């Protein structure tokens, strides 16, 4: 009996160790930089502005489809990929954006539908999902000292604009995700915002996840980097970050 217990403990330990998230490099090179990432049970989805790339969990490409510039951050729900898209100007105080959410089949990356979201006044760039509702974020003029989150139902009927008392963040919010009762918003300038479900600011930290943030396990996220390789193009990498009471997020060593 003791041998069986020890064997079970070893197997459990090995399973947990195997399940630990590891850094991932997306295969290939792309014309434009990474805009965001999301996951499902077996794949990673990367948006490179004019291309959506599906890889396995090791970064091997399964599918690569061209899309119209400018596709941004993305999220996954029930076998579909939702992408924040803007064909107009970003960060324009007069609101000359052309904001959409495009929907793709997660298996094939075939386009399924598109939804105009004109309420995203300064250009849709990021998207998160919580309990079947979608939360779209995006650009921001430099003279505005707060950020906005636009909530839609599962049919993309507009519900309400939320305000984050964040102060100015460079070009607004680029990436978004929801996990364990909190929203995380990645901004250029190496800043990340954390809010509760009412969009009360819980923290504003110096941390770079403007190229993508996606939950991977409890208290852990994949954080995306979008390096440029001279002469080859842009690519994507994922590092594992853990939540931290003081720093918000820290890269796992």
- Please compute the mean of the pLDDT values over residues 48-74 and round it to a whole number: 98
Cβ atoms of 159 and 133 within 8 Å: the answer is yes
Tokens 């049970």: give the residue. 41
35-217 has which CATH code? 2.130.10.10
H or E stretch including 126?
strand 124-130
**For residues 163 and 182, what is the distance between their CA atoms, to the nearest angstrom?**
15
pLDDT at 209: 97
**β partners of residue 39:** 44
Going by their DSSP bridges, the two strands 237-244 and 248-251 should be labelled as: antiparallel
Please check the confidence at residue 148 and state whether its pLDDT lies above 80.
Answer: yes
Q: What is the pTM of this model?
A: 0.93
| pLDDT grade for 163, boundaries at 50, 70 and 90 | very high
pLDDT at 10: 40
Q: 149-161: per-residue pLDDT in tens?
A: 999 999 999 999 9
pLDDT at 253: 82
Q: Where are the domains of the chain?
A: 35-217
- Please compute the mean of the pLDDT values over residues 65-71 and round it to a whole number: 98
């Amino acid at each position: 009996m003791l041998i069986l217990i020890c064997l079970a403990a070893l197997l459990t330990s090995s399973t947990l160790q195997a399940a630990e998230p590891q850094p991932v490099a997306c295969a290939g090179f792309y014309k434009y930089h990474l805009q965001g990432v999301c996951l499902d049970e077996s794949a990673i989805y990367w948006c490179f502005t004019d291309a959506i790339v599906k890889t396995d969990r090791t970064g091997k490409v399964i599918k690569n489809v061209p899309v119209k510039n400018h596709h941004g951050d993305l999220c996954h729900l029930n076998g579909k990929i939702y992408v924040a898209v803007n064909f107009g100007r970003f960060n324009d105080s007069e609101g000359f954006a052309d904001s959409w959410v495009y929907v793709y089949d997660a298996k094939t990356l075939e386009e399924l539908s598109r939804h105009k979201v004109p309420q995203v006044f300064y250009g849709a760039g990021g998207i998160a999902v919580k309990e079947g509702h979608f939360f779209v974020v995006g650009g921001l003029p430099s003279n505005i000292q707060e950020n906005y989150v636009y909530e839609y139902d599962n049919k993309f009927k507009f519900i309400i604009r939320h305000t984050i008392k964040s102060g100015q963040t460079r070009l607004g919010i680029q990436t978004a995700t929801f996990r364990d009762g909190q929203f995380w918003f990645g901004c250029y300038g190496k800043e990340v915002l954390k809010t509760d479900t009412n969009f009360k600011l819980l923290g504003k930290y110096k941390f770079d996840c403007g190229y993508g943030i996606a939950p991977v396990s409890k208290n852990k996220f994949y954080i995306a980097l979008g390096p440029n390789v001279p002469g080859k193009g842009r690519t994507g990498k994922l590092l594992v970050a853990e939540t931290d009471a003081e720093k918000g997020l820290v890269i796992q060593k």
